[in-house]
Amino acid sequence: MRTEIVRIGNSRGIRIPKPIIEQCGFGESVELRVEKDRLIVSPQRAPRDGWEEAFRAAGSSADDELLLEGVGPNEFDHKEWEW
């Protein structure tokens, strides 16, 4: 589909037909990003949307090792840090 770019103040915009808005599931806001030479318009996501599934997919943390375990205080801790 071809559409015109229209002037909106100092900016430019496009009109998205209602059937496309409904098909894409757009609400009152959308997310914009540029990938290579393309403008990607996608439905706005809630903050941290998909994190729960990502954590589940990562598996159990029972076997994770603590990377800083056994690391003692350094010079900053002794000279600079104050409570």
Asked if residue 20 belongs to a domain, the reply is: yes
Its domain, for residue 11, covers: 1-45
Asked if residue 9 belongs to a domain, the reply is: yes
Asked if residue 81 belongs to a domain, the reply is: no
Looking at residue 21, its pLDDT comes to: 94
Asked if residue 4 belongs to a domain, the reply is: yes
Asked if residue 61 belongs to a domain, the reply is: no
Asked if residue 37 belongs to a domain, the reply is: yes
| DSSP 8-state class, residue 28 | S
Looking at residue 64, its pLDDT comes to: 82
Count of CB atoms situated within 10 Å of the CB of 41: 13
| Number of domains the chain is built from | 1
Looking at residue 53, its pLDDT comes to: 92
User: 32 by DSSP, 3-state: which?
Assistant: strand
Asked if residue 83 belongs to a domain, the reply is: no
Cα distances (angstroms) measured from residue 45 to each of 18, 50, 56: 20, 9, 19
| pLDDT tens digit at each of 83 positions of the chain | 899 999 999 999 999 999 999 999 999 999 999 999 999 999 998 889 889 999 999 988 888 888 877 888 888 888 887 77
pTM of the model: 0.53
